[in-house]
Amino acid sequence: MTIKVGDKIPSAKLTQATAEGPKEVSTDELFAGKTVVLFGVPGAFTPTCSAKHLPGFVQNFDQLKAKGADVVACMAVNDAFVMGAWGKDQGVGDKVMMLADGSADFTRKLGLELDLNARGLGTRSQRFALVAKDGKVTHIAVEAPGAFEVSRAESVLAAL
């Protein structure tokens, strides 16, 4: 079942690349007492994700913060090393937290998995964006296959 407005963010462990190596990030800690904008992409270094999705959140970071976001995070079913390299390539700095859901555990708990096995890509995340306040979803937008409209940074800004 897909997560919806009013639902609590499920408990899971994600991973973030740091200078000291991969660091575990608990969703319970990440979302507790904060307003978090989380967007999910099918994969790091993929065309729409690299050309539009991630850059939009980097470019609109100050406006997202001004509208109440404490954390802006990007998640993909990739490993922490790939997410870290993608963040460096995209120049995210400390604006967007780059989170890896390597086994798609969190993605499945959200009900947002995307089966791309037929294309040789395995299980991935659907393209989505959500806002959660103190661990409870206040906004969720999941893209139709091939679309890029409701999960873009500008759409999230309008929802904050």
Q: Kindly report, residue by residue over 13-44, the tens digit of the pLDDT.
A: 999 999 999 999 999 999 999 999 999 999 89
Q: Is 74 a catalytic residue?
A: no
Residue 8 lies in a domain: no
Is the Cβ–Cβ distance between 44 and 76 less than 8 Å?
yes
Residue 1 lies in a domain: no
Split into its structural domains, the chain has a count of: 1
Does residue 121 have a pLDDT over 70?
Answer: no
Does residue 117 have a pLDDT over 80?
Answer: no
Residue 7 lies in a domain: no
- Whole-structure pTM over 0.85, yes or no? yes
Partners of 15 in beta bridges: 24, 100
Catalytic position from the list 49, 54, 72, 153:
49
Mean per-residue pLDDT for 136-147? 94
| Dihedral in degrees, nearest 10, Cα atoms 74, 113, 21, 45 | -60
Domain that holds residue 54: 13-159
Residue 148's CATH number: 3.40.30.10
